[in-house]
């Protein structure tokens, strides 16, 4: 079952932004506004965000470079991901220009990513992703404890590694079968880099295909970065 709230109309300047932001009421099952209404200033702020995304995406397309939208805390991320997916729908028609980021320390990482891959298949655009492990573990856990909801983070590092490799393998298989997916492996983990290279060889994905790239911070783990570059 794919339960998708379609926010296409966010990009329609004639639509009030509060109108498509609906969520189901769990008791009644009816859709209700997420916010009673946006103020005029909030409407303008949101439209400026959309305009900036549009300008950046068009510039990236002109220059033939990838535009990677970073991930934030889980309680902001759904909005960021939806905006990114809408941008992918528009700009990833012939090649993957826009990349969405998935944080693999989240329990929902695989589910979130595979839903977006399925959407890209159905609509015929190129799926682009940057896979990271995640950066806000303490903050996420502290907030979950304070507010009384389930900790969204995997229980340990091993589970996060499993999640990362599961997500990565899924995208690599998608690259092999459809050629309409691309991934940045943003990791300083040597095992993950070796896992990626091994799976690329097994699946017949060549570096010259430009479907897989790697991301590491400058000066961090040069012992991985330099051999990888060679």
Looking up tokens 């000066």, which residue turns up?
219
Helix (H, G, I), strand (E, B) or coil at 215: strand
Looking up tokens 């977006």, which residue turns up?
116
Q: Are 116 and 202 in contact (CB under 8 A)?
A: no
- In this predicted model, what pLDDT tens digit does every residue of 125-156 receive, in sequence order? 999 999 999 999 999 999 999 999 899 999 99
- In this predicted model, what pLDDT tens digit does every residue of 47-77 receive, in sequence order? 888 889 999 999 999 999 999 999 999 888 8
Q: Are 33 and 20 in contact (CB under 8 A)?
A: no
Instruction: Calculate ∠ Cα 80-105-190, nearest 5°.
Output: 115
Q: How far apart, in whole angstroms, are the C-alpha atoms of residue 85 and residue 54?
A: 13
Sheet holding 67-69, edge to edge: 67-69, 98-103, 127-132, 181-186, 212-215
Q: Which helix (H) or strand (E) holds 129?
A: strand 127-132
Q: How far apart, in whole angstroms, are the C-alpha atoms of residue 130 and residue 186?
A: 6
Domains of the chain and any CATH numbers? 66-229 (3.20.20.220)
Helix (H, G, I), strand (E, B) or coil at 32: strand
- In this predicted model, what pLDDT tens digit does every residue of 188-224 receive, in sequence order? 999 999 999 999 999 999 999 999 999 988 888 888 8
**pTM (2 d.p.):** 0.82
């Amino acid at each position: 079952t794919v339960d998708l709230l379609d926010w296409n109309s966010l990009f329609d300047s004639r639509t009030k932004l509060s109108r498509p932001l609906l969520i189901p009421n769990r008791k009644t099952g009816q859709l209700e506004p997420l916010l009673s209404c946006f103020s005029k200033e909030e409407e303008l702020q949101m439209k400026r965000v959309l305009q900036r995304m549009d300008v950046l995406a068009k510039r990236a397309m002109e220059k033939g470079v990838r535009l990677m939208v970073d991930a934030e805390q889980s309680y902001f991320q759904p909005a960021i991901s939806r905006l990114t997916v809408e941008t992918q729908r528009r700009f990833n028609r012939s090649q993957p220009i826009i990349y969405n980021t998935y944080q693999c320390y989240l329990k929902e990482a695989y589910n979130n990513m595979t839903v977006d891959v399925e959407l890209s298949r159905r609509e015929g655009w190129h799926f682009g992703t940057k896979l990271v492990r995640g950066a806000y573990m303490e903050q996420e856990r502290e907030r979950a404890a304070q507010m009384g909801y389930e900790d969204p983070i995997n229980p340990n590092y091993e589970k996060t590694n499993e999640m990362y490799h599961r997500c990565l393998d899924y995208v690599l298989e998608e690259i092999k079968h459809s050629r309409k997916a691309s991934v940045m492996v943003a990791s300083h983990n040597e095992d993950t880099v070796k896992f990626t290279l091994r799976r690329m060889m097994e699946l017949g994905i060549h570096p010259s295909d430009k479907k897989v790239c790697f991301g590491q911070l400058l000066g961090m783990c040069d012992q991985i970065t330099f051999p990888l570059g060679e």
